[in-house]
Amino acid sequence: MKQTAQIYIIIAVIAVVAIIIVASNTFYVVDIKSQCVITQFGRPVKVVTEPGLNMKTPFVQKVRYFEKRIFEWDGEPSDILTRDKENIGINTWARWKIVEPLKFYTSLGTEDRGQGVLDEVIESAVKNIVSAYPLNEVLRNSNRKLEYTTVELEKAEMDKNVKIVHGRASLVKEINEMANEGLSERYGMELVDVRIKHINYVPAVIPKIFDRMRSERIRIASKYESEGRREEAQILGVMKKELEKIESEGYKIATETRGDADAEAIRIYADAYGKAPEFYSFTKTLETYEKTFDDNTHLYLSTDGDYYQYLKDYAGRE
């Protein structure tokens, strides 16, 4: 009896395990973020896109799940020559999803292969579109006036007369349309969006760009220096002219003042001479002697001399 009970228990356990195994291979769950393809001996027989609990033939049919959610795609930088012969590097990113799981499974099978298809499709579209436009169309969206550090740079940009006809947003739209063309029909994929992440000159061109920028700054600096020297010459010329004018006016005023002073002195001398001619003659004679003689001069006076007569008359009056 005891052995019979053990056998029944073993059979029951085996039955439960068998039921679990069969049930796990019969029932499958599709959640809200997934979709799946049912295959039988490797051939797709059914597509399930709605969430819920489903059944399949155990051990014969298999479930291949695919994401409904949007996938990320990040491309490698690629070198492109624009229409105006500017060699640039462009880095892009995109978002995509599986819209027809059956077609995706039969054409690609895995999401990694879908990423590989996008590597070729998006890179080709980017090169075709970007190479057909000048660099300014790739960089800018509108003709909005840009702010420059110097007036010369702004004038140089205005002289180029750059007009944005399409703009970067329009180019990105064209890339999206070209890359998306045929994806759904051939692979069951759809590009949700494509964007340009980064644009720069290729490393081989960057030193030349810096040299050109340096030359432009040197040209602007030379222009400033030339204008400064011209302003300096004008200022020095005006200053010299003003200085000569001031000196001329000063000399004129000094000459007029000196002339007025000499005239006044002459007038005073004339008045003094008119009032006392003898005293005036005496003082002028003394001044003459004072300027003529020094300590080493010996003076011999004649009795007929005027100076002797002055002294004699002065002594007589005393």
Distance (Å, rounded) from C-alpha 296 to C-alpha 9? 163
Are 188 and 102 in contact by the 8 Å Cβ rule? The answer is: yes
Tell me the domain boundaries of the chain: 2-66, 71-204, 215-275, 277-318
pLDDT at 176: 92
Read off the pLDDT of each residue in 172-200 and give the average, rounded to a whole number.
90
- Positive or negative, the Cα torsion across 19, 20, 24, 30? positive
pLDDT at 47: 87
Distance (Å, rounded) from C-alpha 77 to C-alpha 87? 13
User: What SS3 state is found at 191?
Assistant: strand
Local confidence band at 75 (pLDDT 50, 70, 90 cut-offs): confident
The length of the chain is 318
Q: Pick from 110, 113, 106, 98: which is nearest to 45 by CA?
A: 106
User: What SS3 state is found at 141?
Assistant: coil
Across the chain, what does the average pLDDT equal?
Answer: 80
Percent of the chain with pLDDT over 90: 19
CATH class held by domain 71-204: alpha beta
